Amino acid sequence: MEKYARFLRAVLPSKYKIYRFFTDKEYARRYNIKEFPDGEFVAQYIKCIEVQERTVLYQHLTELKEYVLRAMGGFEIDGWKLRTPVTVD
């Protein structure tokens, strides 16, 4: 959450007040905090917090993780390339 906010150059309140920040527009206005720039992320984050069932929570968390990775430019574990030649003795 914090890394994604930093990536978007967004300011967040303390981690204990994030849910209220995302759900209560008056709270953000009162403390003069700009609205979080990614509404889709906010919607998915709230779904993760409000869900009660573990299997559904896991599914929502996986979707949120994939969304954030795509938004930050993607991550492919098999995309690594060596720049120096490798020798095997």
Tell me if 62 is assigned to some domain: yes
Which residue in 28, 47, 30, 40 sits closest to 4, CA to CA?
A: 40
Count of domains for the chain = 1
Give tens-digit pLDDT for 36-60.
999 999 999 999 999 999 999 999 9
Tell me if 88 is assigned to some domain: no
Q: Give the structural domain span for 9.
A: 2-71
Tell me if 58 is assigned to some domain: yes
pLDDT of the chain, 89 residues: tens digit per residue: 899 999 999 988 888 999 999 999 898 889 888 889 999 999 999 999 999 999 999 999 999 999 999 999 887 666 667 778 777 76
Tell me if 61 is assigned to some domain: yes
This prediction has a pTM of 0.76
